[in-house]
DNA sequence: TTGTAAGCGTTATCAG
DNA sequence: CTGATAACGCTTACAA
């Protein structure tokens, strides 16, 4: 009912002790006599005081208990993209020892930003566009950072994937099967997310796309690559329709840069009356299970998404505890499904 | 290189202006002459000052720009449970207008808690255990709260689902099909998450479980109900194995309280050599697509999870902007699949 | 064990 | 348009 919320000084005054004493009653940092503690607690109850204001405490302590997880693009991908989701689960696990909350942020100018959020540490996820700039800001703030799948410079711990090697392995598998008319369906090349055939002089701001494409090109240097506007079944469908529009010139194998894209390509193949594996080979990347794809099991490169996230979380925890955090590179493993086969004569 | 990070006063001093002037240069709240602004900006660049410390700013302003989303149990459920995921996507959407960040928190004593996190507002998701207590804390802090699927008292906006009605509708459907030996497989009853047959005098701290069970009992007052320890395929499998262990006494229909549980029950049915629909009817709840369930399509009650989240987010935004936020109850819709049929003679 | 004092870094207010 | 001042609410040496 009072006009103003009670502060610790109010409580202290009511209890007849100093504010500092009331403070330690709540923090427990220093022994306090039972009698005093009780008086303080009673006063607090009386005044409806529920404990120190976190804002003031964090200013004073210099810690907020918040770890930022920064994404490129819309926040919804966090919840909708299966790989990101699994990775986030790992991050949550990795920072568990810190008891920190995860603050979801995006890599743009919308609030809250890296600049305006009270972070103890940050995990940058696949942020490539403004990465350097973000890093500079965080560094000058003295906020420890870990980067997942992005190049942030020498002294920033990075959690990486062997994207190029993995995609090369898959491409080799496809070539070994005997395919020659092969096309890649890629993730977006840059923030514009433009769909279409990728020109040879394409600039990439998305490292994952660039690296997986490089692995593909290691095996099929002259093959075409069609960029999608995102990693979804719908995008894969759109790309697939382009590929299968001309029955004569269609590829015998499609190497997609994500399982979601591959699933869409498969759908397009079905639309076009093609039998997957028999008429056209389709491979994925990530190793997440895609819903509703039965009876197909994607032939794909499985990545340890949860481990990646966990490693990032643990790295952040280490840095916050003053320990060193090392970079780490994870490896994908080939997973055979039933969507790849030798081309039909 | 300096021993201490630069503050706005340092910048102001270097620029030869007052701290308050430097402040407005960064906040833009008051007109500043171009010359002054430039001097301040130059000084800031020189000192490697990247802007006001968010902790100090939020103490001063009384706003942190952070909305807490509080879950009961482990944070990983946020990323692993499909309903929660979809709902979170809605929440993110709903608070978008605020420019606030979402801080993922858990409803327990680990840091950061409701007490120690710098929140402007909070969304409590399915928190029933410590709900009252949490509410009391938040209220005395003057932090607006919205509760999703939980009863927090009269003057707290709640986003609800017609759980009882919906489950009753499903139960009626099953009865109409002709089933008599029917069993419910439920979500956990309380924080203990004990598995097993639910006694008549069971106390529920999880409203969802209680309400859906009530709807079931409206139609099958004397039927048994088997509690699972969570909402997952594995838990459904465990429950299903119990139900189908005795071929003689097995139910002809199983009404599960979530799609994940239903998927597990279906798996158990397959294990037991039963044909779903033909030998045993299995129904779900939620209307999320469960991976790998083909060729089955669950007969289920679909809930508008994203809408629920969005409504919560918008309610929070409204309260923060000083407007009133109303409670809202969403309705589930029956969705026919191929997992329910009349009992075989 | 308790109290004193000195900030933490910012920004709202109001006068100039 | 700029500056002085006074909080914001708390914590932590250090002194008593």
Instruction: Quickly give A44 CA vs C15 C1' distance in Å.
Output: 39
Nearest nucleotide to the CA of A53, by C1', is D9
Asked whether the predicted pLDDT for residue B16 surpasses 80, the reply is yes
Q: Centre a 10 Å sphere on the Cβ of residue A313 and count the other Cβ atoms it contains.
A: 30
- Domain pair B64-161+305-331 / B163-303, same fold: yes
Interface of A with B in 73-132 (CB under 8 A): 75-76, 78-80, 85-86, 88-89, 92-93, 96, 99-105, 110-112, 115-119
- The pLDDT > 70 percentage for chain B reads 94
Ordered by start, the domain boundaries in chain A are: 8-52, 64-161+305-331, 163-303
Q: Which residues partner with B147 through β-bridges?
A: B124, B158
Q: What average pLDDT score do residues A129-140 get? A: 78
* Cβ distance of A117 and B78 shorter than 8 Å: no
**Is A48 in contact with B41 (CB distance < 8 Å)?**
no
Which chain A residues are within 8 Å of B76, Cβ to Cβ? 89, 92-93
Mean pLDDT of chain A: 91
Please list the residues that pair with B192 across neighbouring strands: none
Range in A2-16, A151-165, A203-217, B14-28 with the lowest mean pLDDT: A2-16
**What pLDDT shows up at residue B43?**
93
Taking each continuous run of H as one helix and of E as one strand, the counts in chain A are 12, 13
The pLDDT, as a whole number, for residue B130 is 67
Chain C bases near protein CB atoms (7 A cut-off): 1-14
* pTM for this predicted structure: 0.85
Q: Provide mean pLDDT across the span B210-237.
A: 96
Whether the CB-CB separation of A152 and A138 falls below 8 Å is answered with no
Q: What is the mean pLDDT of residues B283-306?
A: 90
Q: Do A116 and B50 touch (CB under 8 A)?
A: no
Q: What is the pLDDT of residue B138?
A: 84
Lowest-confidence region among A204-213, B66-75, B129-138, B239-248:
B129-138
Least confident range from A169-178, B43-52, B96-105, B123-132: namely B123-132
Q: For chain B, give the mean pLDDT.
A: 90
Q: What angle do CA A122, A126, A131 make, to 5 degrees?
A: 65
Contacts of B56 in chain A (CB under 8 A): 59
Q: Do B141 and A5 touch (CB under 8 A)?
A: yes
**Per-residue pLDDT at A129:** 65
* Cβ-based contacts of A56 with chain B (< 8 Å): 59
Q: Do the Cβ atoms of A57 and B103 come within 8 Å?
A: no
How far is the CA of B136 from the CAs of A155, B130, B144, B303, in angstroms? 46, 10, 11, 30
Confidence of residue A208 (pLDDT cuts 50, 70, 90): very high
Question: CA-based angle B168:B173:B179, to the nearest 5?
Answer: 105
- What is the per-residue pLDDT across B26-51, written as a single tens digit (0 to 9) for each? 988 888 899 999 999 999 999 999 99
Tokens read off for B17: 């202006």
DSSP structure string for B206-271: -HHHHHHHHHHHHH-TT-EEEE-SSSSHHHHHHHHHHHHSSTTT--SEEEESSHHHHHHHHHHHHH
Q: Which residue is nearest to nucleotide C13 (CA to C1')?
A: B20
User: Does position A1 have pLDDT exceeding 60, yes or no?
Assistant: no
Query: Rounded to a whole number, what is the distance in Å from the CA of A116 to chain B's nearest CA?
Result: 5
| Residue B344 confidence class, pLDDT cut points 50, 70, 90 | confident
Of the segments A23-32, A72-81, A333-342, which one has the largest average pLDDT value?
Answer: A333-342
Is B112 a residue whose pLDDT tops 70? no
pLDDT at residue number A3 = 57
CB B93 within 8 A of CB B129: no
- Shortest distance between the Cα of B139 and any Cα of chain A, in A, equals 10
Confidence of residue A189 (pLDDT cuts 50, 70, 90): very high
Q: How far is the C-alpha of B74 from the C-alpha of B112, rounded, in Å?
A: 13
Which 154-193 residues of chain A touch chain B by CB within 8 A?
none
pLDDT band at B2 (very low <50, low <70, confident <90, very high): very low
Mean pLDDT across A65-73: 87
pLDDT given at position B1: 43
Q: Integer distance in angstroms from CA B42 to C1' D8? A: 29
A118 close to A57: Cβ distance less than 8 angstroms: no
CATH class of B163-303: alpha beta
Determine the pLDDT at residue B109: 64
Strands B66-71 and B121-125: parallel
CA nearest neighbour of A85 among B93, B285, B261, B77: B77
Which of A42, A119, A46, A313 has its CA nearest to residue B66? Answer: A119
Residues 6 or more apart whose CB falls under 8 angstroms from that of A227 comprise: A185, A186, A187, A188, A189, A194, A195, A196, A197, A198, A209
**Homologous superfamily assigned to A64-161+305-331:** Response regulator (3.40.50.2300)
pLDDT at A303: 98
Per-residue model confidence as pLDDT tens digits over A34-55: 999 999 999 999 998 888 999 9
Which carries the bigger pLDDT value, residue B75 or residue B342? B342
Burial of A272 (0-12, 13-18, 19+ CB in 10 A): middle
pLDDT confidence of residue A2: 45
A253-270 confidence digits (pLDDT tens):
999 999 999 999 999 999
Chain A residues with CB inside 8 Å of B58's CB? 55, 118
pLDDT confidence of B110, banded at 50, 70, 90? Answer: low
- Assess B66–A contact: CB distance below 8 Å, yes or no: yes
Q: Give A78 CA → D4 C1' in Å.
A: 47
Q: What is the mean pLDDT of residues A193-199?
A: 96
In Å, how far from its chain's centre is CA A145? 14
Residues of B in contact with A103 (CB under 8 A): 66, 101-104
Inspect the interface and report whether the beta carbons of B118 and A292 lie closer than 8 Å.
no
Tell me the percentage of chain A whose pLDDT exceeds 70. 97
Q: Does A294 touch chain B (CB under 8 A)?
A: yes
- Nearest residue to A308 via CA among A189, A206, A161, A114: A161
Nearest CB among B51, B64, B92 relative to A115 is that of B51
- Residue pLDDT, tens place only, B156-191: 899 999 999 999 999 999 999 999 999 999 999 988
- The arithmetic mean of pLDDT across residues A232-251, rounded, is 94
Do A66 and B103 contact (CB within 8 A), yes or no? Answer: yes
Of chain A residues 306-335, which have a CB less than 8 A from chain B?
none
Which of B89, B100, B110 is closest, CB to CB, to A99?
Answer: B110
Residue pointed to by tokens 């798996």 = B267
Q: Which nucleotides of D are covered by protein (CB under 7 A)?
A: 1-13
């Amino acid at each position: 009912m009072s006009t103003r919320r009670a502060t610790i000084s109010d409580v202290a005054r009511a209890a007849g002790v100093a504010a500092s004493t009331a403070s330690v009653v709540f923090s427990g940092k220093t022994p306090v006599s039972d009698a005093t503690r009780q008086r303080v607690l009673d006063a607090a109850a009386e005044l409806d005081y529920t404990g120190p204001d976190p804002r003031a405490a964090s200013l004073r302590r210099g810690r907020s208990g918040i770890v930022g997880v920064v994404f490129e693009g819309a926040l919804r991908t966090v919840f909708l993209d299966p790989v990101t989701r699994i990775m986030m689960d790992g991050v949550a696990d990795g920072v568990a020892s810190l008891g920190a909350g995860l603050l979801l942020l995006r890599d743009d100018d919308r609030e809250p930003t890296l600049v305006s959020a009270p972070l103890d540490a940050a995990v940058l996820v696949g942020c490539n566009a403004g990465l350097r700039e973000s890093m500079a800001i965080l560094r000058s703030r003295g906020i420890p950072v870990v980067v997942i799948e992005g190049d942030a410079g020498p002294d920033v711990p990075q959690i990486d994937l062997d994207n190029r090697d993995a995609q090369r392995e898959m491409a080799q598998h496809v070539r070994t099967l005997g395919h020659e008319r092969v096309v890649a369906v890629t993730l977006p090349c840059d923030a514009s997310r433009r769909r279409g055939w990728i020109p040879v002089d394409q600039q990439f701001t998305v490292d994952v796309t660039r690296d997986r494409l490089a692995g593909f090109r290691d095996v099929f240097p002259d093959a075409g690559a069609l960029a999608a506007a995102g990693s979804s079944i719908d995008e894969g469908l759109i790309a697939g329709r382009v590929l299968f529009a001309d029955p004569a010139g269609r590829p015998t194998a499609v190497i997609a840069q994500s399982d979601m894209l591959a699933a869409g390509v498969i759908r397009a193949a079905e639309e076009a009356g093609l039998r997957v594996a028999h008429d056209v080979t389709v491979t994925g990347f990530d190793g997440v299970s895609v819903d509703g794809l039965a009876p197909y099991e994607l032939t794909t490169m499985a990545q340890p998404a949860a481990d990646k996230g966990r490693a990032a979380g643990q790295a952040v925890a280490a840095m916050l505890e003053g320990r060193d955090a090392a970079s780490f590179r994870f490896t994908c493993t080939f997973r055979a499904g039933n969507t790849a086969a030798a081309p039909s004569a």
